[in-house]
Structure 1
Amino acid sequence: MTMDLEQETRIRYRRTKSVSRAEDLQKEEARIRRKQPDKPCHKPRDSLFSWSSGFDNFTGLVNWGFLLLTMGGIRLLLENFIKYGIRVDPEQWLIVLTGRHEGGADHPSVILLMYSVVPVVLCLLIEKGLSVEIISYTPGMMAHVVNLLVLVMIPMVVIHVKSSGFSLIGATSVCMIYSILFLKLWSYIQVNLWCRNRRLSVSKSHLRRQSLSFHHKNASDDAANGSVDHEEKNAETSLVHYPDNLNLKDIFYYILAPTLCYELNFPRTNRIRKRFLVKRMVEVVVGFQVMMCLFQQWIIPSVKNSLIPFSNMDVAKATERLLKLAIPNHLVWLIFFYLMFHSFLNLIGEMLHFADRNFYCDWWNANNIDTFWRSWNMPVHRWALRHLYIPLVEMGYSRTAAGVAVFFVSAFFHEYLVSVPLRTFKTWAFMGMMGQIPLSIFSKFMETRYGPRWGNIVVWASLILGQPLCIMMYYHDYVITHIGEDLIDGYGHV
C-alpha cells in the first residue's frame, strides 16, 4: 500500500514537472521568437466575437443600437406627422378626464368613487365586532366575503346598466380603485385574523403558565419574570397592538398607503424631502402629458388602421400593423411603468412618510417569465405571495397548484380591468395571463438550453408583441359589439 502511494506521488510529480516544463518551453520559444530578425507580431489569440475570447465590452455596439433605434423612432414620428398632422389637443384631455361627455349630469363614476368608502367602513365595523366577540367567527367571515363580492360586482352592474353615463377613463378609474380596495381589504381581514388567532393562543398559554406557576414557582421567579416582562413592555410601547389598530385613522392610512399588504406598524420616515417630492410631482405631470400626446398622435391612428387587416385576417398586413403599433405602445408602457411605480408611488409614499419604497426590482434583466412577474410589480407580487401562495401551500396544496391559483386571480383582475370598462366581455386578457404559464416553461427552456440572454429575449418579445396584439383584438371586438360591422366598411379606405 505504501509503495503504491509513493508511486502515485511520483507520477503526479512527473506530471506537474512536465506541465511546468511545457510552459517553460513555450515561454522560452516566445522569447527566442521575439529576437528573430523577421520581427514576429503574431501570437495565439481568439477573435473578439468568439465566446472563448473573454471579451465583453460592447458599449459601442449598444450606443449604435440605441442611436439606430432613435433614428427609426424619429422617422416613424415624422411619418405620423406628415400623414395625420398634429392631433394633440389638450382640450380633449380635459373633456375625457373630467367626464364632461358622460351622459347626464350625475357623473356616475364620481358617485362610485365616493361610494368606495362604504365597504371600507363596513370592513372596519365587522372587524371591531369580531375583536370584542359581538360577532362570532363564522358570521363575521361570511359578512366579509359578501362585502368583498359586492365590492367587485358593483362596478360590473352599474357600468353595464348606466353604460351611456360612463366615460372610458371614468369606468377604468372606478374598476382600478375597486380592484385595489378588494386586495387591500383581503389583506386587512387576513392580518387581523392572524392577530386574533395569536391573541387567543397567547391567552391560553398564559392561563397554562399561571396554573404551573401557582403550583411550582416561588416568589423570586415571579419577580424575575415580572422584570423581564416589564422590559419587553417598555421596548414595545411605541408599537400598535391588536385590537388598538381597529380605528378609522389606521385603516384609511393603509388605504392611501402605496402597498397592498396590511401591517399594524408600517416603517415610517422622519421627514418629507421637499426636493424629492417636487421632482416626483414634475415627473408625474410631465410624464402624463407625454403619454397623452403619444396616445392621441400615434396610438389611436395605429389602432384604427389595424381594424380592416385584422377583421379580414390579412396576416401580412395585420402583422405589419402589429409591429407598427408595438413601438408606440411599448414606449407608453415604459413611461407608464416609470410614472406609476417610481414617480407616483414614491410621491404618495413621501407624503405619507411610508418608508418601504421597494415598488419594483430589475425586471428588465429577467431571464424567464417567472422572474419578470416576481420583479416588475412588487406590491402585487408581495400580496400574492403573502396572502395567496403561502397560505395555499400551508393548507397542503402543491406549489404548482398555488402558482396556478396566483395566475388565475391575476388573470381575473386583468380581464376585469379591460372588459368591464369596455363592456366587451371577452377573455383575451384572461387567456393572455393564463398563457404566461406555458410561456414561463418555454422561457426557462430557452434560458437553460441557450443561456440567460435568450431567456431575456423571450421576456422582452412577449412584452413588446403581446400587448399590441391584445389591444388590436379588443378594439376589433369593441367595434363589432357596440358600433357594428358597418364601421369596418367605413374604415376601408384608410
Structure 2
Amino acid sequence: MSTENNHKDSSNHTSSSSSSSSSSSTIKRKVKDGVNTSNHGGSETIEAKPSLLGLNNKVLLNTPPHSPSLERFSALSKPRESLLTSPEMANIQWGTFNYIALAYVMAGFSIMAQMYKEKGVIVDMELFWTLTKNWHCGLILSVGLFLFSQVNYIQTRLMVKGYIPNRISIVLYCLWQLVAFPVSMSYLFSYELSPILSGGYGLQLCVYSLKNHSYWHTNYFLKKGGVKATSNNSPVTRKDLIPNVSFSHFLYFMVAPTLVFETSFPKTKSIRPSYILKEVLAGFGTFFVFYLMLNLTTPFYRECGTESFLIILVQLSLPSMSLWMLGFYGVFHCLLNIFAEITKYADREFYQDWWNATTFDMWWRRWNKPVYRFMSRHVYTDSMHTIKLNKFWAMVSTFLLSALLHEIVMIISFRFVRPILSTTMLLQIGLVYFTQLPIFQKTRFGNVIMWITIN
C-alpha cells in the first residue's frame, strides 16, 4: 500500500543521530515527490514546491501520536498532480500519448462518416435523448442527499462536543445510512431512466454514503482516542489527529474529490482558468467519442437474440475496451481534476499507473485511488483494529463491501437482482492470489493477463 508507506516515511522523521546519507536520501525522495522538507525544533515541516500546484499551505507533523490507535487516521493527502497531466511522470512519452489521443479522434471521425453514409446525419442524437431522459432526477437527488447529510453533520458535531453520548451517535449514524439508501432507490425507481443515467445516480448515492461514513467514523474515533490520551495525561497535539467539525470544513469535504475525511486538506493558492478550460475541452471530446462508440455498439445489442453469443462477444470486445479507456480518462482525469481545481484541492492522485500492473491486487491498488484509500482505511485497516480480523479476512470483508456497493449500482441501473457482478468480484479474491505467482509478478505476461482480465 504505497500511499500508507509514503505517509509513514514523512511522519516518522529521523533523529539527530541518524547518518547524513540517510537524511539526504530521504530529502531527495520527498523533493522528487514534489515537496520540500526542513526540520524545526524536533518537528518536520513539509511544504509543497510552488512550481507544482502553486501551494500556500504547510503541514506540520510532530512525532507519532500519543495514542497508537489513532495512527490509522493520520493525514494521507499531499500536493501532487495526476500522472497524465505530465505523461512523463508515468513513463509515457508525449509522442505515445498524442498517438493514442489521435487514434481515438480518428475513430470518432470514422464513426461519424459511417453514420452519415447510413443515416444521412453526422451525429445521431436519438440515443442521446434516450440516455438523458429525466436527467433532472440526478440534480434533485444530489441536492436531497446534500441536505440530508447535514443531519449526519449535526449529530457528529453534537457527539464531538459532548452533547450526546457516543452510543446515541452510533445509532443516529446507522439510521442515516438505513434511510438514505431505500429512500434514494425508491425515488429513482419512480422514474423511467436509462441504465447509464440511473447507474450514474447510483454511484452518486454511494459517494454520499462513503463520504458521510468517513466523516462520522473519523471524528468519532479521533474524539474517542483523544479522550483516552487525555485521561492518561498525554493529550494529542497533532492537528491532523484532532476532530474537526467546523461547518465550512464539512461543506468543503462534501464537494472535494475525495472519499476520505481528513481534519485538513492541502490546497492550492488559486484557481487556474486555463487549466479548467483545457480539462473541460478534453473531457467534452472524450465523452463525445464515448457517445459515438455507444452508437456504434447499439446494433450489436439489438442482435443479441438472433446472433451467436460468441460472435456478439467478439464484435463488442474492441468497442468495450475503448469505452473502458474513454470512461477512465473522462472521469478519473478530466472530471475529477476539474472538481479539484475548482475546490483548490491539491492532491490530484486519483489514479496511478494501473496500465503497468502485473498482478490483480496491484491493479486494484492503482486504478481508483479515492475508493482504494477509503477501503484501505475504513474497511481493511479498521476491521483488523476494531474486530481483530487477520489480513485475509480483512481483505475478504473489503471485497464483500465493494461487491455489495457494485451490486446496488447494478440494481439501480437495470432494476433487477442478478448477483453476477458481485459474484465475479468475490471470485477475484482467488485471482489476487493466482496472479501473485512468480510467472506473473513484474513480467510482461502478467501485464497481458491483467489487461485480458479487466476487459
- Answer whether TM exceeds 0.5 for this pair: yes
The answer to whether 1:252 aligns with 2:251 is: yes
Confirm or deny: 8 A CA contact 1:260 1:380 kept in the other structure: yes
Alignment-derived partner of residue 281 in structure 2: 282
Give percent identity, aligned residues only.
24
The letter of the residue matching 1:396 is K
In the TM superposition, residue 449 of structure 1 has moved relative to its aligned partner by 6.7
For 1:326 and 1:192, how far apart are their aligned partners in 2?
46
The answer to whether 1:387 aligns with 2:378 is: yes
The answer to whether 1:302 aligns with 2:300 is: yes
Confirm or deny: 8 A CA contact 1:267 1:354 kept in the other structure: yes
For 1:75 and 1:349, how far apart are their aligned partners in 2?
31
In the TM superposition, residue 278 of structure 1 has moved relative to its aligned partner by 1.4
In the TM superposition, residue 155 of structure 1 has moved relative to its aligned partner by 2.7
For 1:450 and 1:266, how far apart are their aligned partners in 2?
35
* Pick aligned residue for 1:183 from 202, 210, 213: 210
Alignment-derived partner of residue 437 in structure 1: 429
The answer to whether 1:320 aligns with 2:318 is: no
TM-score, normalising length: structure 1: 0.65
In the TM superposition, residue 368 of structure 1 has moved relative to its aligned partner by 1.1
The answer to whether 1:356 aligns with 2:322 is: no
The letter of the residue matching 1:259 is T
Q: Secondary structure at the match of 2:306?
A: helix
For 2:122 and 2:426, how far apart are their aligned partners in 1?
37
The answer to whether 1:335 aligns with 2:326 is: yes
The answer to whether 1:427 aligns with 2:422 is: no
Q: Which runs of 5+ in 2 are unaligned?
A: 1-92
Q: Structure 1 residues 431 and 82 mapped into 2: Cα distance closer, same or farther (>3 Å)?
A: farther
Q: Secondary structure at the match of 1:308?
A: coil
In the TM superposition, residue 94 of structure 1 has moved relative to its aligned partner by 4.9
Confirm or deny: 8 A CA contact 2:160 2:220 kept in the other structure: no
* Pairing 1:21-420 to 2, within 5 Å after superposition: 81=115, 85=119, 88-90=123-125, 92-94=127-129, 96-97=131-132, 99=134, 108-160=137-189, 162-164=190-192, 166-206=193-233, 242=242, 245-296=244-295, 298-309=296-307, 317-394=308-385, 395-420=387-412
For 1:294 and 1:185, how far apart are their aligned partners in 2?
36
Confirm or deny: 8 A CA contact 1:241 1:264 kept in the other structure: yes
Q: Structure 1 residues 77 and 115 mapped into 2: Cα distance closer, same or farther (>3 Å)?
A: closer
The letter of the residue matching 2:367 is W
For 2:153 and 2:322, how far apart are their aligned partners in 1?
41
For 1:111 and 1:126, how far apart are their aligned partners in 2?
24
Moved over 6 A (4+): 72-76
Alignment-derived partner of residue 5 in structure 1: none
Confirm or deny: 8 A CA contact 1:259 1:379 kept in the other structure: yes
Q: How many pairs are equivalent? A: 355
Q: Structure 1 residues 82 and 284 mapped into 2: Cα distance closer, same or farther (>3 Å)?
A: closer
The letter of the residue matching 1:411 is A
The letter of the residue matching 1:122 is V
For 2:275 and 2:111, how far apart are their aligned partners in 1?
33
In the TM superposition, residue 275 of structure 1 has moved relative to its aligned partner by 2.2
In the TM superposition, residue 357 of structure 1 has moved relative to its aligned partner by 0.7
Q: Give per-residue Cα distances to partners, 1:420-444, cap 9 Å, x unaligned.
A: 1210211111112112122223323
In the TM superposition, residue 92 of structure 1 has moved relative to its aligned partner by 4.8
**Segment drifting more, 412-421 vs 333-342:** 412-421
Q: Which runs of 5+ in 1 are unaligned?
A: 1-58, 101-106, 210-228, 310-316, 465-494
Confirm or deny: 8 A CA contact 1:303 1:325 kept in the other structure: no
Confirm or deny: 8 A CA contact 1:444 1:455 kept in the other structure: no
For 2:122 and 2:208, how far apart are their aligned partners in 1?
36
Bigger relative contact order, structure 1 or 2 (CA pairs below 8 A, ≥6 apart): 2
Q: Give per-residue Cα distances to partners, 1:335-355, cap 9 Å, x unaligned.
A: 111111111111111111111
* Pick aligned residue for 1:458 from 434, 446, 449: 449
For 1:444 and 1:158, how far apart are their aligned partners in 2?
44
Q: Give per-residue Cα distances to partners, 1:119-146, cap 9 Å, x unaligned.
A: 3101111112212222111111011011
Confirm or deny: 8 A CA contact 1:159 1:421 kept in the other structure: no
Q: Give per-residue Cα distances to partners, 1:389-421, cap 9 Å, x unaligned.
A: 011122321111111111111111111112212
Confirm or deny: 8 A CA contact 2:108 2:289 kept in the other structure: no
TM-score, normalising length: structure 2: 0.70
The letter of the residue matching 1:129 is L
For 2:404 and 2:240, how far apart are their aligned partners in 1?
35
In the TM superposition, residue 259 of structure 1 has moved relative to its aligned partner by 0.6
Q: Structure 1 residues 117 and 82 mapped into 2: Cα distance closer, same or farther (>3 Å)?
A: closer
For 1:265 and 1:363, how far apart are their aligned partners in 2?
28
Q: Secondary structure at the match of 2:282?
A: helix
Q: Structure 1 residues 438 and 146 mapped into 2: Cα distance closer, same or farther (>3 Å)?
A: same
In the TM superposition, residue 299 of structure 1 has moved relative to its aligned partner by 1.7
